[in-house]
């Protein structure tokens, strides 16, 4: 009996020690990046943070396994599983806490922000806390609270996985090929950008509004996935004219009216493709030379929001580039 009590006290001690260590690691990471870390620290944080992508699948599977074990343990023939659930709860908790910290390190190092990133961050941290709660309540023999914490961990794991996947693929990834009647229920509007492109293409070229009908669809197709309100790498947004005028991590805004050479978006798309700062990232379609020429022409003209092609009177070379755009 005394050995059992000693083991229980030891487990409680280590559960709080692990929680405190996790909170300290999160706080230290926040503090370091608030102070403005060196380039070496940024690079190292990105290096270790990317192990989040590998480690994250481990607690996801273990949380599911723990839920199944608890479910079967409720049955007479599964009572023996009770002896193993505490160990599995420890594994799930350690995996969830460590992977959520690595995710925070990666987010801080790569300066990723936006709505999807915010939800992914908080649901991911929530998974860690819920797993710890499931373990803690199990250790003090409050089974109902332990099960409720585990259910919370399962729900948060699904949510964190969804938002993480949305940043990699797209918010519509899961519902893209759903039956048409289900799409509105799944929040998929579908085809809006394509419809706008078709409508713009139906206008005579001189009547097209340069920003609305040409620049915005171009950036939407090739840039906004990583630089929009849902996800903004380097805190650079290109999803609206107002957002483009703001600077991200660099000192230069996305676009600086009249000065393409000082516009971050132009600088990035004109870099050699092998450069690590080139936009977009690997394996994604880049702006064509014609699209870059049109973008620079629009910026030189002052980046107007409502002027048409006819208003800006493009020279012959730009007119040819405009004709080649979708």
Q: Can you read off the two tokens belonging to residue 112?
A: 């990723």
Regarding predicted confidence, which is higher, 208 or 181?
Answer: 208
Give the domain ranges of the chain: 2-168, 192-324
pLDDT at 5 exceeding the cut of 70: no
Q: What is the mean pLDDT of residues 133-137?
A: 95
d(CA 163, CA 167): 6
- pLDDT at position 258 is 92
d(CA 121, CA 129): 13
User: Which segments of 56-142 does DSSP mark as H helices, in order?
Assistant: 57-73, 82-110, 115-139
Confidence band of 201 (pLDDT split at 50, 70, 90): low
- pLDDT at position 96 is 95
Confidence band of 1 (pLDDT split at 50, 70, 90): very low
The 10s digit of each residue's pLDDT in 262-298 is 898 888 888 888 877 788 876 778 889 999 999 999 9
Range scoring the smallest mean pLDDT among 4-13, 133-142, 260-269, 308-317: 4-13
Regarding predicted confidence, which is higher, 152 or 323?
Answer: 152
- pLDDT at position 246 is 84
Closest CA to 263 of 248, 276, 273: 248
Do 239 and 228 touch, CB atoms closer than 8 A?
A: yes
d(CA 188, CA 98): 33
The 10s digit of each residue's pLDDT in 230-257 is 777 877 888 888 888 887 777 788 889 9
Closest CA to 136 of 84, 90, 194, 182: 90
Q: Is the peptide bond before 280 cis (omega within 30 degrees of 0)?
A: yes
d(CA 196, CA 185): 23
- pLDDT at position 265 is 87
- pLDDT at position 90 is 95
User: Which segments of the chain does DSSP mark as H helices, in order?
Assistant: 2-34, 39-49, 52-55, 57-73, 82-110, 115-139, 143-168, 192-201, 216-222, 241-244, 264-269, 289-300, 309-312, 316-324
In DSSP terms, which residues pair with 112 in a beta bridge?
233
d(CA 250, CA 302): 21
The 10s digit of each residue's pLDDT in 61-115 is 999 999 999 888 888 777 778 788 999 999 999 999 999 999 999 989 888 778 8
Closest CA to 135 of 92, 96, 99: 92
The 10s digit of each residue's pLDDT in 24-73 is 999 999 998 887 778 888 889 989 999 998 888 888 899 999 999 988 88
pLDDT at 198 exceeding the cut of 60: no
Give the SS3 label for residue 212. Answer: helix
């Amino acid at each position: 009996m005394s050995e059992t009590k000693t083991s229980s006290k030891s487990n409680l001690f280590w559960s709080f020690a692990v929680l405190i260590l996790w909170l300290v690691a999160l706080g230290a990471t926040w503090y370091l990046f608030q102070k403005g870390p060196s380039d070496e620290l940024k690079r190292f944080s990105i290096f270790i943070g990317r192990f989040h992508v590998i480690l994250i699948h481990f607690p996801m599977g273990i949380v599911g396994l723990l839920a199944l074990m608890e479910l079967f343990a409720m049955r007479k023939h599964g009572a023996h599983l009770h002896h193993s659930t505490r160990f599995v709860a420890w594994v799930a908790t350690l995996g969830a806490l460590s992977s959520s910290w690595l995710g925070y390190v990666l987010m801080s190092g790569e300066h990723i922000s936006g709505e999807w990133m915010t939800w992914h961050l908080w649901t991911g941290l929530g998974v860690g806390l819920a797993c710890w709660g499931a373990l803690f309540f199990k250790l003090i023999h409050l089974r109902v609270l332990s099960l409720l914490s585990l259910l919370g961990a399962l729900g948060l794991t699904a949510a964190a996985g969804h938002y993480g996947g949305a940043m990699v693929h797209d918010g519509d990834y899961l519902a893209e090929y759903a039956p048409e009647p289900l799409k509105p229920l799944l929040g998929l509007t579908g085809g809006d950008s394509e419809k706008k492109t078709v409508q713009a293409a139906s206008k005579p070229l001189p009547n097209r509004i340069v920003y609305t009908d040409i620049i915005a669809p171009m950036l939407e197709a090739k840039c906004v996935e990583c630089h929009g309100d849902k996800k903004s790498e380097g805190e650079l947004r290109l999803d609206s004219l107002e957002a483009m005028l703001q600077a991200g991590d660099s000192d230069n805004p996305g676009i600086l009216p009249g000065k393409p050479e000082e516009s971050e978006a132009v600088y990035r798309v004109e870099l050699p493709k092998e450069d690590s700062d080139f936009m977009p990232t690997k394996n994604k379609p880049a702006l064509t030379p014609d699209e870059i020429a049109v973008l620079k022409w629009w910026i030189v003209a002052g980046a107007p929001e409502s002027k048409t092609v006819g208003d800006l009177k493009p020279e012959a070379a730009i007119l040819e580039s405009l004709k080649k755009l979708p």
